[in-house]
Structure 1
Amino acid sequence: MAIIGSLIKGAVHLKDTLTTEVDHIEAQQRELEKLLVKAKDTKFGKTFKFDEILKSSDLQKAFAEQVPYFDYHQIYEQWWSQLLEGEEHVTWPGIPDYYALSSGTTGKTSKRIPVTQDMIESIRSAGIKQVEALANFDLPASFYEKEIMMLGSSTDLKEKDDHLEGEISGISASNIPFWFEGYYKPGKEIAQIDNWDDRVKRIAQKAKDWDIGALSGIPSWMELMIQEVIDYHGVKTIHDIWPNLQVYTSGGVAFEPYEKSFNSLLAHPITVIDTYLASEGFLAYQQRPETNAMKLITDNGIYFEFVPFKPEYINSDGSLKQEAPSLDLSQVEEGQDYVLLISTVSGAWRYLIGDTIEFTNKERAEIKITGRTKFFLNVVGSQLSVNKMNTALRELEKQFDIKIPEFTLAATRIDGEFYHHWYLGTETDVAYKKLASALDESLQNANKNYKVARSKALKGVKVTTISPQLFAEWSGAQKKKGGQVKMERVMSEEKFKDWESFIKKQLNPSLG
């Protein structure tokens, strides 16, 4: 009998029973007030008159009217750059101890996002909430005695001036509580290896020494790690190495596109729990098994706003137009796409995180990530969101019995006419033209704007299939393997030319 596991499971269930459900709308009002009170004497707070906003009878409305929207480049150039020059009390009291490096899905230059001690506590608190939510899932007591593989970026943070730098997963792992260290794998020594390939190789070598019950990390990199372990030991599935694996905690991107290829690496299904940990904070987690939607954490140092996701509110670079209206949690509707804004205990204010979300249950504050503002393909009026692209590809998987975990596309011109050129990461013998026709038909049936575009300026669809592994190689060449790195789904024409050149060289090294 799993005595220790039974005790832990009992404690988790007891804590969950004693925890009362949050009134999310009231919680958000309180969080905004706390943020404004703490930051009112910073340079940012004085500039935007936080003390006056705090006197308003409608705090949320006054805040929205007084403070503009910021994307990363705007807030960095105007405010966060001062922190790196040694200034204090800029957008949050004091100076940050950490900076989360994030190249995200665009460009080779890393973003530097402040991570304060208040944010470290917020992330730790969110992690505890997620563990408490395990009480809602039907997991045996023995699960609570197993080890957890957290596959993030290196925990070997770089010291620079008066702070440490690294990706948020590395910062979080370097701050795990002492009592958790016995459960945490791959352990400090391996986690500090900076090179992704070397780190995964060491994980594969040590894999049989561990009794892994849960995995945590971004799906694309998790698949590659699992495949490496399977290949190294010459087995058929990861359950041949980790027979007690029962849970996978996905994070940062939707799991659905990877579901079919991920499950092919398993001997039997496992429980998949979605989380939403970004470089800017731990925003949401899946609280219950009846849905794969995630609950926004509304009482933990982050204030959320929502802008209706419409082409007229979005600039060509994916940023927001200042005249775009914003809504608070009380004003949103279910089933609509929104651009997500956050204000946080790290000094991000009305910050465009870059994701679009949809509410599936407003009362529970449950959401799904539907895409990225920069991955909205609206050339010639096609109005394709990542969510619509993913839905079409899932239909393709069913129709042709294939797996398509990765893809990217661009609107390209051939003899002056626009085509959508898709690169699909899949191993298949199905003809390109057959896939293109099915994909085109699916999108037209599901999206009236796309159908109109196809009858006018959008002349057709092209499909090229390549190995899913090449997407990881591209990410490695552009930025860095592993960690928080995500594949860009929609590329500009210029970036797409670089992509095609890279793929040609990978398929035919003599061209390089």
Structure 2
Amino acid sequence: MGLKAVLSKVFASLVNRQLNHIRQNAVTLQQKTFSDLVYTAKNTAFGTDHQFALINSYEDFKKNVPIRDYEELRPYIDRVIKGEANVMWPGKPSYLAKTSGTTSGVKYIPISKESLPEHIKAARNALLSYIYETGKADFVDGKMIFLQGSPVLNEKNGISTGRLSGIVAHHVPGYLQKNRLPSYPTNCIEDWEEKVDAIVQETAKEDLRLISGIPPWCQMYFDRLSAVSGDKKIKDIFPNFKLFVHGGVNYEPYRARMEEVIGTQIDSIETYPASEGFIAFQDSQKEKGLLLMVDAGIFYEFIPSEEYFNDNPTRINIKDVELEKNYALILNTSAGLWGYSLGDTVKFVSKNPYRIVVSGRIKHYISAFGEHVIGEEVEHALMTVAKQEGVEVVEFTVAPQVAPAESQLPYHEWFVEFGKEPADLTTFAMKVDRALQQKNIYYFDLIAGNILQPLIVRSLKKDTFINYMRSQGKLGGQNKVPRLANDRKIADELTIYII
């Protein structure tokens, strides 16, 4: 074991003590965060408009600050982008994180000098928590690769602008820089396929021990590595590869295919970073869920997902949440986002400490007939049956077919790219349908009442989703395929790939 690994164990023990304080004092820390945020921003334009100086409680805050998504906050954000100071947070942001929204096109999220260190600290603590719990630290002595966006930054009115992962790349601690891949020139390649090929060439003979990135793009990297290495398994290319760090999407639909190409099961750490803030990370290999960052400059609010589109939905803070209930996640941050609807839904699996799972997107659901099927339900149904049947799923998306051929009932149409096909696609679809009915009573009622017919699975050609994302100019980076839609925009594009 090298010196870095030895020192990391000492550091991990110190950080775990800090995390224990956070685990045991979440409600108190959230109240302090709330008070600090409101006090700090009281003299900003937003704080003045919403009477922050008169806010003395969370109840006051709810009366003064409505829930808004990006578009609704845009009049303030546009002022920030134009270079105006003291709009939503004191001064100007250090960066603007450029991100592709599913409903707002390109978004620019402010990152302040107060919020940026929290991104770095949370990513570091995720690794240190793993080291503390497992005692495994050898990975810090080898090479690590982070598949991410380009670190090249542009400027908007004097503010550096780029992808979050590219921004963070400029602030990686010095003790990790020598171990870190890809090289800066390779990381700056904009075209994703060209970049992956360059990374393959650069890393094929390195001692990679940790690999990090969004699962579908890591899968693409692994496939190309395997192809240029004579179809070797990743474990044979990188014998010391022991840890996979992922985020951005639910890993479970990718796990079987990833482990097949790797050639073995491997430890993994799930993280929940967003341009708006680093929200949670997996702090234990033994416990379910991600530890919510309650002391990181974010005050969280939660709206029961079934009330989200109501005129006056219930808004609660962390002390009033219930287990196993889906909530829309609302953020108030030290970069000046207020009552900000992130668009994600989360579910608490523990309150001691507060751990969450990401259950879907508030606007990604199917409710063409009132069924309100959500991402968590379709992923559970598909992956449960796939595991039982020994089927591998590469990627999928689901859309309603409300106008089928004459005399047919409407149905949910599932477009699935398989790594390993079902023995019988019709039987497989029937089993997935039954699993979905068990998860969603409204869907069950529609099937039982002959309002909908059982779902239909369309098997897609190899590399369908890579080709689709390429056609949309969204290959690689932080881009993800929406799993659910109420329209057929994606579905109709995918029909040409049906086997």
Does residue 1:363 correspond to 2:361, yes or no? no
Q: Find the counterpart in structure 1 of residue 342 from structure 2.
A: 353
Write the distance in 1 (CA, Å) between the matches of 2:303 and 2:287.
24
The alpha carbon displacement at 1:431 in A equals 4.2
The 8 Å contact of residues 96 and 109 in structure 2, kept in 1 or not, is answered as yes
Among residues 93, 97, 119, which one is paired with 1:96 in the alignment? 93
User: 2:331 touches 2:342 (CA, 8 Å); kept in 1?
Assistant: yes
Q: Which of 405, 413, 429 is residue 394 of structure 2 equivalent to?
A: 405
- Post-superposition Cα deviations, 1:169-202, rounded to whole Å, max 9, x if no partner, equal 1111122233321121112221111111111101
Matched, 1:122 2:124: no
In structure 1, the residue matched to 2:442 is: 449
1:462-481 paired onto structure 2 within 5 Å: 462-467=456-461, 469-481=463-475
**Alignment CA distance shift 1:20-1:500 (3 Å):** closer
Confirm whether residue 500 of structure 1 aligns to residue 498 of structure 2.
Answer: no
1:139-167, Cα deviation, whole Å (9 max, x unpaired): 43422212211111111222333122222
Tell me the CA shift for residue 462 of structure 1.
Answer: 1.8
Gaps of 5+ in 2: none
CA contact (8 A) 1:136 1:289 kept: no
Could you say what secondary structure the match of 1:103 adopts? strand
CA positional deviation for 1:503: 4.6
Give 1:62's aligned residue: 60
Contact 1:154 1:192 (8 Å CA) reproduced: yes
Structure 1, gaps ≥5 residues long = 316-320
Residues 1:421 and 2:413 are matched in the alignment: yes
Matched, 1:259 2:275: no
Matching residue of 1:318: none
- Seen in structure 2, the aligned counterparts of structure 1 residues 147 and 419 have a Cα distance that, compared at 3 Å, is same
> 2: CA distance between counterparts of 1:283 and 1:202?
32
The aligned counterpart of 2:6 is 6
Q: In the alignment, is residue 239 of structure 1 matched against residue 232 of structure 2?
A: no
| Paired residue secondary structure (2:150) | coil
Kindly tell me the number of residue pairs found equivalent between the two proteins: 492
Structure 1 residue 421: deviation in Å? 0.8
Deviation, 1:7, is: 2.9
CA distance in 1, matches of 2:103, 2:432: 26
Deviations 1:300-333 (A, max 9, x none): 11111111111xx244xxxxx4401111100001
The equivalent residue for 2:50 is 48
- Aligned-residue offset at 1:409: 1.1
1:459 Cα deviation after fit = 3.0
Deviation at 1:254, TM superposition (A): 1.6
CA apart distance, 1:268: 2.3
* Equivalence for 1:183: 179
> Taking structure 1 as reference, are residues 259 and 399 closer, same or farther at Cα in structure 2, changes over 3 Å only?
same
Partner of 2:46: helix, strand, or coil? helix
Residue in 1 that maps onto 2:294: 298
Q: Distance in 1 between matches of 2:20 and 2:426?
A: 55
The Cα of 1:494 is off from its aligned counterpart by: 4.5
Matched, 1:207 2:200: no
CA distance in 1: counterparts of 2:422 and 2:116, whole angstroms: 48
1:116/1:476 Cα in 2 relative to 1: closer, same or farther (>3 Å)? Answer: farther
Contact 1:156 1:194 in 2 (8 A): no
Q: Which amino acid aligns with 1:446?
A: K
Which secondary structure does the structure 2 equivalent of 1:333 belong to? coil
Whether the aligned pair in 2 keeps the contact of 1:156 and 1:193 (CA below 8 Å) is no
| d(CA) in 1 for partners of 2:78, 2:4 | 49
What is the root-mean-square deviation in Å for CA atoms of aligned residues? 2.1
- Could you give the per-residue CA deviations for residues 102-132 of structure 1, whole angstroms, max 9, x where no partner exists? 114457x311211222221221222232233
Of the candidates 125, 129, 154, which is equivalent to residue 133 of structure 1?
129
Map 1:330-349; keep pairs closer than 5 Å.
330-349=319-338
Going from structure 1 to structure 2, the CA distance change for 1:248 and 1:93 (only over 3 Å counts) comes to: same
- TM-score normalised by the chain length of structure 2: 0.93
Q: Deviations over 1:380-415 (max 9, x none)?
A: 122211111011001221233111131111112214
- Structure 1 counterpart of 2:12, which letter? V
Sort the Cα spacing of 1:267 and 1:380 in 2 relative to 1 into closer, same or farther, 3 A.
same
Could you list the per-position Cα deviations for residues 7-42 of structure 1 after superposition, in whole angstroms to 9, with x for gaps in the alignment? 332332344346642200000001111111111111
SS in 2 for 1:380: coil
- TM-score, normalised to structure 1, is 0.91
SS at match of 1:426: strand
Structure 1: which amino acid aligns with 2:30? Q
8 Å CA contact 1:356–1:370 kept in 2: the answer is yes
Name the amino acid aligned to 1:148. Answer: M
Check 1:12–1:493 CA distance in 2 against 1; reply closer, same or farther (3 A cut). Answer: closer
Look up the SS of the partner of 1:170 in the other structure.
helix
Counterpart AA for 2:51:
K
1:166 corresponds to 2:158: no
- Separation in 2, partners of 1:37, 1:4: 41
